[in-house]
Structure 1
Amino acid sequence: MRGPVVERRGQVRDGSTTDERLLDSRGPTDWLHSDTWRVMRIQAEFVEGFGALAELGPAIAVFGSARTQPDHPHYAMGEDVGRRLVEAGFAVITGGGPGAMEAANKGACEAGGVSVGLGIELPFESGLNQWVDKGINFRYFFARKTMFVKYSQGFVVLPGGLGTFDELFEALTLVQTRKVTSFPIVLLGTAYWGGLMDWLRGTVLAEGKVSPADLDMMVVTDDVDEAVAMMVAAREASS
């Protein structure tokens, strides 16, 4: 017996006990990278995330490119989104990185609201942006994604790349499969998102791979006020 696990015949690894390996400082450190230890790290990430965000209150997640420069119109749009969401009574949650995420955190912070960053361990980005008031760094994408969906009442999606697409389509899948309900998704930037919507309608919908109702889950606009109003309406409808 190895805890709740039974090992027989060729599956028996060695004769040592778990306590022995824990207390023996001379042994190898490969156990730090084993699947069983990773489970504990995963559990810890969920516990930390739930504990930090449990009392956050109504919040909206804002996504967008980490490559958006401060002098780009999309950065200004991100600041405006963060500010308007706070004025409407929401906390703002981003991925905590630079670019559009930083812009939304900055707008929220300067408006006196709660500015949250959920960072991820990446080889080409380090740390949370300076406008994050409450931040959590994750090792695992799936733990981080759970926090976005669990503690957000809607998504505002600024122009972005693969990471932004990933969050967008995961949210759409969760709404389509009714894992989450009353969850508005707004894409800001008609010029940027128009081509995607044309392809979804002209190819994906035309070939019957989605239904018209699936595409109705998204609203594409250039109007920040409209985006915020949708979040407010969803909050009121669910209260």
Structure 2
Amino acid sequence: MPERSIVPRDVTDDIRAVIADAGVSVNVDLVARILATGIGLGMDEASRLNLKITTAALSEMRAAFRLFAPYAGTPKVTIFGSARTRSDDARYLAAAEVAAALAERGWMIVTGAGPGIMQAAVEGAGAERSLGVSIRLPFEQSPNAVVADDARHVAMKYFFTRKLMLVKESQGFVCVPGGFGTLDEMFELLTLQQTGKAEPTPIVLLDEPGGAFWEGLRTFVDDHLIASGVVSPDDFDRVLITDSVEAAANEISGFWRNYDSMRWVGGRLVLRLRAEPDDAEVDELNERFGGLLASGRIERSAPLAREREDDDRLEFPRLVLRLNQIKVGSLFRLIQAINDLPSAPPMSGPPV
């Protein structure tokens, strides 16, 4: 393989000319980097297999981005579960009911577009409130009849691009008992939250009435993972285990009761809220969560200069803090406390 090198300047200029000729005028620098990376792969003499993987991944992401783009302003919840669950199973009914309850509250439902629990969720929400991201497999799974011919569906070759879209676009998650795939999706959610690679979101593990599937997982986490020190004692506290459809829907909606969004500005974390806490409430938050801070206190704040420059949700009151990055996985506990403050508004609609 030739010695690794950067794309020559004259080629970079040609790339920008091609972009201009195509009429692209937004985020030109990032589009140029995508094209330059492709040329760089050629310069590296990447194998045909590696180039096929790259090409397919980019094509699939583009198709998925186009699918979700018209619904950017609509909050979404992804429902995971087994493709093998039969329509007469109590878990099928639970998935349909929670999807219907959330759709009624203004949420769109995102699923893997397959049979079983995925079809139950689409049936519960209705095709007009559903988006599907299916996987092409040589056996077992094909798009369910509700979404197969619908414009609200995209098919993927690779699990990693599919999981990206099932997680990236949603502000809440419901996992219904399933096999390796469902557990893989659930553990990836927990890993992203624990490591701070994704913003805090509500995660519900929903079972049939009286079901013990997820309670068995809790026992395994307590007796093996926590006991052996490979996860922290509160890492599993971020999920709600329930057999109640109403409790599941309330957990998803309630997470956004007062908390709106977050943003890092330099070393400061900004939490945007629906209602401003008073002095006593801020003092209580500092007393309870001071151990999460790298320095200073949790303070009320007007929008920071960078936020004003970007016109970024300026209408919301704010709390600003310097979070100890090692403790980013515990941020969900602070958000839960903010939602429980006396000044918080009553249960409201989904995030926008």
Could you state the TM-score of these two structures normalised by the residue count of structure 2? 0.57
What one-letter code is carried by the residue in structure 1 that aligns with 2:79?
V
Residues 63-74 of structure 1 mapped to structure 2, 5 A cutoff: 63-74=80-91
Aligned counterparts of 2:59 and 2:164: Cα–Cα separation in 1 = 14
- Match in the other structure for 2:70: 55
What one-letter code is carried by the residue in structure 2 that aligns with 1:49?
A
- Match in the other structure for 2:107: 90
- Match in the other structure for 2:230: 209
CA deviation digits over 1:135-186, x for unaligned, max 9?
A: 1100111111110111111110111110000000000000001111231111
Q: CA, structure 1 residues 126+212, in 2 after alignment: closer, same or farther (shift >3 Å)?
A: closer
- Match in the other structure for 2:145: 130
- Across the aligned residues of Structure 1 and Structure 2, the Cα RMSD in angstroms comes to 2.2
Indicate whether 1:179 and 2:194 are aligned. Answer: no
- Asked if structure 1 preserves the Cα contact closer than 8 Å seen for 2:115 and 2:141, the reply is no
SS of equivalent residue, structure 1 residue 34: helix
Aligned counterparts of 1:184 and 1:55: Cα–Cα separation in 2 = 24
Aligned counterparts of 1:32 and 1:215: Cα–Cα separation in 2 = 42
Indicate whether 1:149 and 2:174 are aligned. Answer: no
* Pairing partner for 1:161 from 169, 176, 179: 179
SS of equivalent residue, structure 1 residue 38: helix
Whose RCO is larger (CA < 8 A, sep 6+)? 1
- Match in the other structure for 2:206: 188
CA deviation digits over 1:4-50, x for unaligned, max 9?
A: 979xxxxxxxxxxxxxxxxxxxxxxxx99632133122111111111
Aligned counterparts of 1:66 and 1:5: Cα–Cα separation in 2 = 46
Aligned counterparts of 2:217 and 2:158: Cα–Cα separation in 1 = 28
Higher mean Cα deviation, 127-136 or 57-66?
127-136
Indicate whether 1:120 and 2:145 are aligned. Answer: no
Aligned residues: 212
- Asked if structure 1 preserves the Cα contact closer than 8 Å seen for 2:115 and 2:142, the reply is no
- List structure 1 segments (4+ residues) > 2 angstroms apart after TM superposition: 31-34
Could you state the TM-score of these two structures normalised by the residue count of structure 1? 0.82
Aligned counterparts of 1:154 and 1:213: Cα–Cα separation in 2 = 20
Aligned counterparts of 1:78 and 1:33: Cα–Cα separation in 2 = 42
What one-letter code is carried by the residue in structure 2 that aligns with 1:142?
F
Q: Percent identity?
A: 40
